[in-house]
Structure 1
Amino acid sequence: MALTIGVTGGIGSGKTTVCKVFKLLRVPIFEADKTAKNLLDTDQQLKSELIHLFGENIYTPNGTIDRKKLAEIIFNDKIQLSKMNALVHPAVRRNFKNWVKQHEHFPYVIHEAAILFESGFYKIMDYNILVTAPQNERIERVMKRDQISRKEVEERIKNQLPEEKKQELANLVLMNDNKNLLIPKIIEIDKKLKEDGKIW
């Protein structure tokens, strides 16, 4: 059975970049955020639960979720966000368990998720890696990437668990601050996992 490694990081931390390096090392990556977005459009059970929660107009006439409308609701209302997560997380977990079975011949697989700790998914992983960076660097990266204001980025950060709390829950912290060399560290982690089944 493949070891399961959770990889997470706050918005703008560079977790996707880290996962791209693992992908180059031929490690299967389960992209939880992409999977969740896909399930919003394809999982019939989830769709009917979301319509019940937010009303029919949460979906566009062609049957895909109205992402702008959904973002307006959940980014401004923590109660609605947690209600939605209570529906989405079980659907993603089911999907992940099936995916792991299909990749069990690999030494390890990666579960990449923005809210690994917040969702409780970290509890079903063998190890968890946190990718982090100084907050100001993260804000600058996201402003540039998403063409949004500093205030909007700060609002999104507020919705995530504080970095200190994430560091307490992680087995390993990778600093992505343009000073520490990330790639040699990732290669070292990959080698240890493939040879010893351990992260350090």
Structure 2
Amino acid sequence: METTPAPSNVDPNRTLLLVDDDDILRERLARALAKRGYAVTTAPSVAAGITAARSNPPRYAVCDLRLADGNGLDVIAAIRDINPDARVVMLTGYGNIATAVAAVKAGAVDYMAKPADADDIDAALQASGDTKPEPPDRPMSADRVRWEHINRIYELCERNVSETARRLNMHRRTLQRILAKHSPR
């Protein structure tokens, strides 16, 4: 559990717990949210997230759905037990309707696909009551979403092209061409 240094203009009521097992994403997002005035505490797992929530109940939280040691829904449930007024945003690289419904039932105010922009997360956290935040000004293109998904599966398959192609039901050569290109905008 780490606390990201925040600017001097941070409101102590803007405590935020960020739970994600992707170290790079967690640290970048923590810095970006700290610049937006949040006092950010990070955790890499369900267990660390629940411990952090109990030791310092957050007003806001951003939580990944799939974590190495379990499900982010458990963290949301713990946060809601500790602070029923907490505003929680669920992030996931595996978006589908069933998990979105489960996240909202658990108490999340919004559900976003990774990689999510810090401005979009901030807007979701600051939306008042049950109002929905405005749609993003610059949403990811369909090509970018596809590229992100393919690369995520590639990493989960330990960078094995043949296994990734099998899981994506894609020809191996096609996958190699996609992986060789730079990310689309």
Same fold (TM over 0.5): no
TM bucket (normalised to shorter chain) is: 0.3 to 0.5
Structure richer in helix, relative to its length: 1
TM-score, length-normalised on structure 2? 0.35
Structure richer in strand, relative to its length: 2
